[in-house]
C-alpha cells in the first residue's frame, strides 16, 4: 500500500497536500462540501494585526491559464481570528493548521505571531512577506534580504512553533532571500507566492481590477515555481513547501522531485473547491503508475 506521509518541520502529515492561504478561507467553509481532515493540513487566510477590508472592487481578473487577484488581505484581524475563526475551525478540523501571518512592520509580525503561537490548533506559523496586493508591507518587505532577516529573527524570539517564511518570486535572486531566512533561524520556506500581472478591458480601455496590478497565479506559473523550488532546495538545508500552479497529483510529485517536502495548492481551489480532495484521492494510483511506494522517498529525487 502506498505511503503518502511526509514530515514538515517535525510534524507528520498524512499526505503533502496543503491548500494555500487565501484560497481556502478558515477551512470551515470547505468542510460543508467534504471532510477536510483528508488534507495534510491547510494554511488559513492571511491574518493581520488589525482588521482589513481589503482592496476596492473589482478584485479578480481571469486570464489564460490563470487568474489575477487583488484581494488585499481582507481579514477580521488576529484578535477575532483567535476568538472566533479558530473556534469554528476546531469543530471540523482535528489536525494542526498553518497560520498565515502578514504585516506592515516587524512589530506587526511579532504581535500576530505571538498571539497565534499560543493557540493549540496552530502547528506552524507561515510568515508571509510576499503579498503583492498591499502597500507598505507584504512584498515590499519580502524583496529585501535584510528586512526579511530582521522579521524572522524578531518572530523567532517570541514563538515556539516552526516558522515557515513565504517568499515572493518577484525578486532578482530568490536564493539570496531564502538563505537570509535560513540564516535568521527560519524552520522552513514556502515558495512561490504570486507573480505580478494585470489585464485591460478592451471595452472600457481601463485595467480590469481596481488596484490595476495584482497577483497572477494558476497553471501558467508552475514552471516558474518549479525552477525556484529547485534552486532554493539546492541552497538551503531547511524544508521547502512548493507552491504555484499545482493542480494535479502529477504536479505534486513533480514538485517533490524538485525538492519540495510538501506542496500547497492555490488557484485550483478557486476553480474547483474539491481540487485538493481529488488530488489526494489520485495520489496512490499516480504513485503506482510511476513505481513510487513511499512519497517521502521522492523528495529531491531529480537532483
Range of the domain at 108: 6-298
Residue 132's pLDDT band (cuts 50, 70, 90): very low
How many CB atoms neighbour CB 286 within 10 A?
A: 18
- Max intra-chain CA distance, the chain: 56
In a domain, 303, yes or no: no
pTM of the predicted protein model: 0.94
Compute CA 14 distance to the chain's CA centroid, rounded to the nearest angstrom: 18
**pLDDT reported for residue 1:** 86
Please determine, for residue 131, whether its predicted confidence score (pLDDT) is greater than 60: no
In a domain, 235, yes or no: yes
Q: What is the mean pLDDT of residues 2-11?
A: 98
In a domain, 1, yes or no: no
Number of domains in the chain: 1
Q: What percent of the chain has pLDDT over 70?
A: 96
Of 242 and 141, the structure prediction assigns the larger pLDDT to 242
Q: The sheet that has 66-69: what strands, in order across it?
A: 60-63, 66-69, 214-217, 195-197
Please determine, for residue 225, whether its predicted confidence score (pLDDT) is greater than 80: yes
In a domain, 269, yes or no: yes
Catalytic site residue from 113, 131, 190, 276: 131
Per the annotation, the verdict on 131 as an active-site residue is: yes
Please determine, for residue 261, whether its predicted confidence score (pLDDT) is greater than 90: yes
**pLDDT reported for residue 251:** 98
Range of lowest pLDDT (8-17, 109-118, 129-138, 160-169)? 129-138
Please determine, for residue 75, whether its predicted confidence score (pLDDT) is greater than 80: yes
What rounded mean pLDDT belongs to the chain?
A: 93
Q: Which CATH number goes with the domain that contains 102?
A: 3.20.20.70
**pLDDT reported for residue 16:** 98
Question: Strand, coil or helix: what is 215?
Answer: strand
Nearest to 98 by CA among 30, 48, 167, 44: 44
What is the rounded distance in angstroms from the CA atom of residue 288 to the CA atom of residue 293?
A: 7
Residue 133's pLDDT band (cuts 50, 70, 90): very low
pLDDT in tens, 264-301: 999 999 999 999 999 999 999 999 999 999 999 999 99
Amino acid at each position: 500500500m502506498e505511503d503518502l506521509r511526509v514530515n514538515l518541520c517535525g510534524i507528520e502529515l498524512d499526505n503533502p497536500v496543503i491548500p494555500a492561504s487565501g484560497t481556502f478561507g478558515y477551512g470551515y467553509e470547505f468542510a460543508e462540501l467534504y471532510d477536510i481532515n483528508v488534507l495534510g493540513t491547510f494554511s488559513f487566510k492571511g491574518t493581520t494585526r488589525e482588521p482589513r477590508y481589503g482592496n476596492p472592487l473589482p478584485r479578480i481578473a481571469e486570464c489564460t491559464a490563470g487568474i489575477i487577484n487583488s484581494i488585499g488581505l481582507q481579514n477580521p484581524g488576529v484578535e477575532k481570528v483567535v476568538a472566533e475563526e479558530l473556534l469554528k475551525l476546531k469543530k471540523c478540523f482535528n489536525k494542526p493548521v498553518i497560520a498565515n501571518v502578514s504585516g506592515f512592520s516587524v512589530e506587526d509580525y511579532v504581535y500576530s505571531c505571538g498571539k497565534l503561537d499560543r493557540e493549540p490548533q496552530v502547528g506552524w506559523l507561515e510568515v508571509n512577506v510576499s503579498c503583492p496586493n498591499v502597500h507598505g508591507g507584504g512584498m515590499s518587505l519580502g524583496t529585501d534580504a535584510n528586512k526579511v532577516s530582521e522579521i524572522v529573527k524578531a518572530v523567532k524570539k517570541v514563538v515556539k512553533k516552526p516558522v515557515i517564511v513565504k517568499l515572493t518570486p518577484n525578486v532578482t535572486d530568490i536564493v539570496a532571500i531564502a538563505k537570509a531566512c535560513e540564516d535568521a533561524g527560519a524552520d522552513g520556506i514556502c515558495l512561490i507566492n504570486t507573480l505580478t500581472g494585470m489585464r485591460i478591458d478592451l471595452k472600457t480601455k481601463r485595467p480590469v481590477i481596481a488596484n490595476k496590478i495584482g497577483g497572477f497565479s494558476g497553471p501558467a506559473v508552475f514552471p516558474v515555481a518549479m525552477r525556484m523550488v529547485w534552486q532554493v532546495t539546492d541552497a538551503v538545508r531547511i524544508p521547502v513547501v512548493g507552491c504555484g500552479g499545482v493542480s494535479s497529483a502529477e504536479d505534486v510529485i513533480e514538485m517533490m522531485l524538485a525538492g519540495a517536502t510538501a506542496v500547497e495548492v492555490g488557484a485550483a481551489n478557486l476553480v474547483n473547491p474539491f481540487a485538493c480532495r481529488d488530488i489526494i484521492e489520485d495520489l496512490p494510483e499516480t504513485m503506482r503508475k510511476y513505481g513510487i511506494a513511499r512519497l517521502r522517498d521522492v523528495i529531491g529525487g531529480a537532483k
